[in-house]
Amino acid sequence: MVTIENLNKFYEIDGQKQYVLNDIKLNIQKGECVILKGVSGSGKTTLLSIIAGLDKPSSGKVLVNGEPISKLPDMHLSAFRAEKIGIVFQNFNLLDGVSLLDNAIVPLVAAKVGLKEAKQKALNALKVANIEHKANKTPSELSGGEKQRGAIARALVANPNLILCDEPTANLDIANSLSFIQTLKELHHMGKTIIVATHDSLFEELDFKHRVVEISQGLLVDS
């Protein structure tokens, strides 16, 4: 599902290469749930961004679903992102002033799905994320946990097979965090490939099959 070989990402600072990701090699099978663990600043977000095609690697090979994601032209890459990848952001990133239902439609607009079908799919996604009762509320009217579920609905709406979550519980209380893990379990049982970047210890004892990958100062460490 995701194949990463010899991935490097560095920033040129004062003529010096500062490596954020260093020779990463990672293979994720379809249906796997991978917990990408590491302290703040270790490079988790950078790695997720590159997998999602939101950032470009300095060198190396990244294949997602067999596609060389960093080499696709924008039109192709965007369509791929709209249909094949769902992202749950740390700070939710919902559009302000737009209801959860309409927020959930946004990826489908890019995927050129008709309005009627898009609304139906968005409503279904809100059901799966357990937030359909707040479908007409805008983000400012919702709690952190509710926003999170809205963001999950948006990530699921196009029925992608790869789901990326960046620090999904960082802005949640313990109850909401546990409920998120419950949702994650359901997604895992639906056969989704999942990558969660987190430094939350709650993810260390999941009650379903998963793999923990640790990243430290841009290097993958075996655990």
Residues that bind another protein in the complex, under the rule CB under 8 A: 45-46, 48-49, 52, 54-56, 74-75, 77-79, 81-83, 85, 87, 89-90, 93-98, 102, 105-115, 118, 154, 158, 166
Measured from the CB atom, the residue of 122 and 165 that comes closer to ligand ADP is 165
State residue 95 phi and psi, 5-degree precision: -75, 130
Shortest distance, position 51 Cβ to ligand ADP, whole Å: 12
46 is a site residue for Mg ion (CB under 5 A): no
Shortest distance, position 112 Cβ to ligand ADP, whole Å: 32
Residues that bind ligand ADP (CB under 6 A): 11, 20, 38, 40-46
Q: Which residues contact 90 (CB under 8 A, 6 or more apart)?
A: 45, 166, 167, 168, 170, 171
Instruction: For residue 67, give Cα distances in angstroms to 51, 53, 170, 198.
Output: 11, 11, 31, 26
3-state secondary structure 85-131: EEEECCCCCCCCCCCHHHHHHHHHHHCCCCHHHHHHHHHHHHHHCCC
Q: How many CB atoms lie within 10 A of CB 145?
A: 18
* Residue 11 binds which entry of Mg ion, another protein, ligand ADP, none, CB below 5-8 Å type-dependent: ligand ADP
Measured from the CB atom, the residue of 29 and 91 that comes closer to another protein is 91
Shortest distance, position 78 Cβ to ligand ADP, whole Å: 22
Residues that bind Mg ion (CB under 5 A): 45
